[in-house]
Structures are given as C-alpha cells and as structure tokens.
Amino acid sequence: MTQSQAQAQDLHPYHDCLTGLVNQIVAPHAPTELLWSECKLYAFKNPKDLVFYQPKILSMSDEISRFSGIKASHSEFSTEPELKAYLHAHLDAGRSIICLVDTFNLPFCRTFQTQHAAHWLSVTGYREGHYQLFDHYYQFQGEMEEGQFHECMLVVTTNMEFEKAHCYTIDAQGFSRPSVDQYKQAIADNLTALTGDSAVGQPIDDPIITEELIIVAQGLSVFDVALEKLAAVEESAEHQVILNIMSNNFKGMASSRFLFSEFLEAVDAGALEQRTELSAHLKQLAQDYLIYSNLCLKAMFDRVKSLKSLRPRLERLKEQEVTLILLLDEYHRAITA
C-alpha cells in the first residue's frame, strides 16, 4: 500500500469523515456551505437500552439534496463480485464513490489492527489492480490492492452491526442555489423541531442503520435524558461505553451547530444584525460542545475527577440551546415580517 498526505488546508475542523468527503466531491460544482441545513436535537435508544444523541434524523442523502438539486444515490452489497462490478462501473464513468469501511483493516488509521470502527472514505480511481483512495478525515491519499479493499468494505458485515456493505455516489451537476423561501423553510423546520416533540416514539429511518432505534426525546428534553444517563454513570459497569457515546455524539452536535452557522451566512435574506448574533452564538456553542466531547473522553479514564464537571457543563449547554432557540426565533421573525 502506498500513501501520501493530503493537503492540510483541505481539512475543515467541524466536518466528519462523511460530510468532509461529500464536500470534496461537491466543491467543484457548488458552494458546500449550502448543503448542511440540519440543526436539531434528538435522543434515541437501541434494544440494549443505550442512548444516543444526534442533531438530525435525516440521512446524509436527504439532507444535501433537499434544497440543492444534488442527487446522492445509496447502494448496498452482500458479495464481492457485485461490489467490484459497482465500483468499476462508476469509476469507468468518472465518478468517485464514498464507501463504508472498517478502520481495523486500514494501515493509515489510528485504530489499525486494534479496534473495529465504521468509517467513510472515497475511491477516486483504479490502476493496475489498485484502487486510488482519498480519506478526508485522516488526510490520506494513496492506493490499496483491489482484494484488500473489498475485504475492508465487506468485513463490516461480520465485525460490526451492518447487514451489507454500503456506498454512495453523488451527482452535483444539477445543483441550484436554495431560494430565499427555501432558506426560510429550513430555519422554520429547525425551529419547529427544537421546540416540538412530534418525532418522539418514531423509529430512525436510515439506509445504513440496521438495528432498531426509537426516538425517546426531542428538543430541550434531550438534555434531561442525558443528565439522567450521566447520573447513572458512576454506578454503571458500562461507564466507558456511555461516556464514549456521549463524546462521539456531542462532537456531532458541535459539527451541526458550526455548519448551520455557515449555512445561515451563505444566503442574504436580510436582518443582518440578527443573523450575525445568531451565527456567533452557534459558533461558540459548537466550541462548547467540542469541549464537552473532550471532557467525556477524559472522564472515561478518570471518571471520579472529571464527572464532577460534566453535569454543570451539560446544564450550561442546555441554557445555550435555550438562547439558540430564542435567537433563531428572532431571526426567523425578522426575515419573514
């Protein structure tokens, strides 16, 4: 396997492995800050009674296509021949493919041969029995032998809870800028979700997720669920699992708040003063979610010391979300008056 480092300036601090790859593919055709319009709050539970926290329930493909005209197509595979045929067909047509892999089998990942973890990277070409790969998150460009890469994809069905291997292709040729009315609709949808509970009790509908996940809280009540889980951490034998979920999920909250601030700034709907205040609050909130994520990670190893700071910080995050709702409502009123 040969490798080289990707350009460091390509790494956006608030994009994860999937959204970063989407941006990489879409960037030549469209302003990528217009893709990410979801800024909500949900908690959902799996059959093992583990709780997860997310800023959206829309799939990636639905979110980026909703207002943009971009088409994201999902495909799944059970066997190597059908996976190989799919990859080669799209590469021959000049399209990159976003692929779900297990980092246990990727030498350039920090969890190589130590931990199984789901991860997204893109296949950008094929040459002499090797796929050309690009990984936004790990800033990697290189190649991997064809059969070895197929194994990286198909192994998610045995080492993790996926029934099949998964891929996305993205067609950004039909991009159109969201209208001001669509922009206002996106803001209204976020405001409604942050202040409502209509999704509670519903299952998560995502083509990648196979286990049954039920939404148990929406909006500010998500913090009540998180505080309850946090109170039980000291007595739980699964404290590292719970804190690791919180760390990963609150990092996702940070990303959604920052990316939503970029979405807000990309369209001129008036009320510049209110938008500026809202955007600044979102950026600060993103930073505070990131700090909380790091503290959860730290608490996995010195939980008695670090747990003391988690509860008051979580309560402050709830207060900041209350402020976000107020600012979002003020901005929405200003641009729809």
Domain locations in the chain as residue ranges: 3-30+71-171, 180-336
Residue 126 DSSP SS3:
strand
Cross-sheet strand order for the sheet of 140-145: 3-5, 140-145, 130-135, 118-127, 97-102, 165-171, 71-77
Distances (CA, A) of 83 to 25, 31, 77, 165, 292: 21, 31, 6, 8, 39
For residue 98, CA distances in Å to 1, 37, 136, 317 come to 19, 21, 11, 33
DSSP for residue 211: S
Contact 211, 161 (CB under 8 A): yes
Q: What is the DSSP string of 161-205?
A: S-SSEEEEEEE-TT--PPPHHHHHHHHHHHHHHHH--TTTTPBP-
**pTM attached to this predicted model:** 0.91
**Could you read off the pLDDT tens digit of each residue along the chain, which spans 337 residues?**
444 434 434 567 888 889 999 998 999 989 999 999 999 999 999 998 899 999 999 999 999 999 998 999 999 999 999 999 999 999 999 999 999 999 888 888 888 888 888 999 999 999 999 999 999 888 889 999 999 999 999 999 887 778 899 999 999 988 999 999 999 999 999 999 999 999 999 999 888 887 789 999 999 999 999 999 888 887 777 788 889 999 999 999 999 999 999 999 999 999 999 999 999 999 999 999 999 999 999 998 886 677 888 999 999 999 999 999 999 999 999 999 9
User: In this predicted structure, what is the pLDDT of residue 2?
Assistant: 44
- Long-range contacts for 111-119 (Cβ within 8 Å, ≥24 apart)? 116/159, 116/160, 118/156, 118/160, 118/162, 119/17
Locate tokens 């909500």: which residue?
A: 40
Angle between helices 239-265 and 303-336 (to 10 degrees): 30
Structure tokens that stand for 114 in this block: 């130590």
What's CA 74's distance to the chain center, in Å? 16
Determine how many CB atoms are found less than 10 A away from the CB of residue 98: 24
Single out the residue of 259, 304, 307 nearest to residue 286, CA to CA.
259
Dihedral angle over CA of 229, 233, 236, 241, nearest 10 = 80
Task: Report the distance separating Cα 233 and Cα 81, nearest Å.
Answer: 46
E strands in the chain: 3-5, 42-45, 51-54, 71-77, 97-102, 118-127, 130-135, 140-145, 165-171, 214-218
Name the CATH code of domain 3-30+71-171 (choices 3.90.70, 3.40.50, 1.10.3470, 3.30.160): 3.90.70
